[in-house]
Structure 1
Amino acid sequence: MKIFLCISIILFVVLSCKKSQSIKDEENGKKYQVSFDVRDFTQKETDFDNTSTSQLTTHNTPEAIPIEDVISILYCVVYSNDGKPAMTIQQLSSQANFGNLNLNLPNGNYTVVFVGGQSGLIYKPKRLSEDKISYTRSTGADSFSDTFYKKFALVIDGANNNSSIILERLVGRVRVVIEDALPLDIKSITIRQTTNIYDGVQIATGIPLTLSTDLYAGTTVQLPTSSVGLTGYSLSFVTLNTLKSFNVEIAVKKGSSYYQNTTLVRDVTVGANKTTVLTGKLFESESASPGNGFLIDINQAWDPEDLDIPF
């Protein structure tokens, strides 16, 4: 069973006779009310075809997941035909009308971009061909956070228009599962991506890129004494690199000293909205060569509760 998450957006274009402070129609001054309703996420149990992940078979009725449980900030940017932003709307999940957008536009051809993400998301529209998104620089877990994106063309021609839009998740996730028991003197575990780090997205294409912001792709977990002896312990981070293989470093800090043993897993790949699971023994094979004992598996389910971890 797999989990499929999406945002559904229903676009209603309704003729309006009211004057507005929005962009003036160059011909007759008429404007059209455009309403975007960003609905709750839906969760479906699906079977994925091994050769084409676009073929889905739904086995149950979608379960609504409130969008404020998945994203905390939402941008809607309408670009004019010349590529310049005609309108920008930013909403926070704390707002009562989160997900409901109303704007007025004259007849014309537009490009609409929706971006949903977490606190720290940076989107400063200037020109469609040049605009990018990123996150404020941080050190620690999930610097480039769970983020969704959709770009589509919008034509306002005086006729009612009803269309459904799906926002797509940009990031993938790396999960490390440590099969052997956590030792007594362990203080923390760090997992991080060490090569091919992307820290931005080109708005015009939705393709990841490097902005040299030094965003940290990884996480560090401080382990309490109650974790001693646990097996199957797991931790994860999200990554924007869904294009190239990369290396993942697993580092362990023991006692008061710095990291004493490090394992490097090479050539890890991850897909957008998918989890790549690295499974192996970390402490029973400390004398082994870096990377030994860790197997790589790709799980197409985003929900971590759906992982099947072999022991």
Structure 2
Amino acid sequence: MAVLTARRLRRSLLALLITAAVVLPLSAAAHPGIPAPAPAVLAPLTASTLDEAYAANRANAAEASRMAEAHGDRGRAAVDRALAGPSRTLLAFDGRGSGRVTEVFGDLAHADRIAVLVPGSDTTLDTYARFRATATALYAQLVRHAPNGTRPAVVAWLGYETPATISTTVLTPTRADQAAPKLREFIRQLHGITARQAHVTLLCHSYGTVVCARAASGPGVDDIALVGSPGTGVDSAAALHTSARVWAARGGDDWIAEVPHVSADLFGITVGFGTDPVSPVFGARVFAAGDGGHSDYFTPGSVSLANLARIVLGDTSEVTRA
């Protein structure tokens, strides 16, 4: 009983902090300006230009590392240097500001099952290792369970400026509205790269679910999974106007459950994201996510990771329901 009470108290306090950001803005410390080169100029992305793009982006990351080191930011220099490693396969890289990176796991050109991970708040180049860990865990799960002849790939898409968790921005759709056209364009590019007619699944976490909701009406997406969602900004899955199957899950210890699922207009600004995607009224296919917390959906061995992999691989009859 004491453990349950402590969990509820912790989740309530976290929810209170986020909700308070509406009236008491608390911005995360901004990363100081770090010099970095402009992104590499690439040929249009196709199967035949992938290796060229990977090499150009690694070279750009290496230059960004040198510039960050000269600027005195050893932390960012180390992040950029790791991304410049010879085994890294970067579809995109921009070391300026909070940074952008899109990384591939697997043989994208020949993949027929592609998962695109869309992250939530506080995901930047400086915290990218955490996001990358979710991608590697998912890719390992997919490879382990893919049927013979199935070629999975995972893309970690940090293609937008994510909001800070404790900020006014995280409770408004502004960043999602800016990100959605970029995500739609990226999905279009994906279909131009793959040699097969690939099945594309968007796996969206936290604020990333708002981004995916804004991009859902675009073509080329077969499944959308929303995990740890604060809401999507619409009242139902049907209101996403997508032909993709819409899935949703929330872990038993995810504090996002304590955030009010409301949407209101405050001084001309929409605050909050409305209906809970795991509620029956939303109409998503709700699947089990176990007892994990907000950052546990891709933990190796977890119920949620197993179900996410089944969705990506098309084993939907094996997905365990909540």
Q: TM-score range by the shorter chain?
A: under 0.3
| Structure (1/2) with the larger helix percentage | 2
So what's the TM-score if we normalise by structure 1? Answer: 0.25
So what's the TM-score if we normalise by structure 2? Answer: 0.25
Q: Please identify the structure whose Cα radius of gyration is greater.
A: 1
| Structure (1/2) with the larger strand percentage | 1
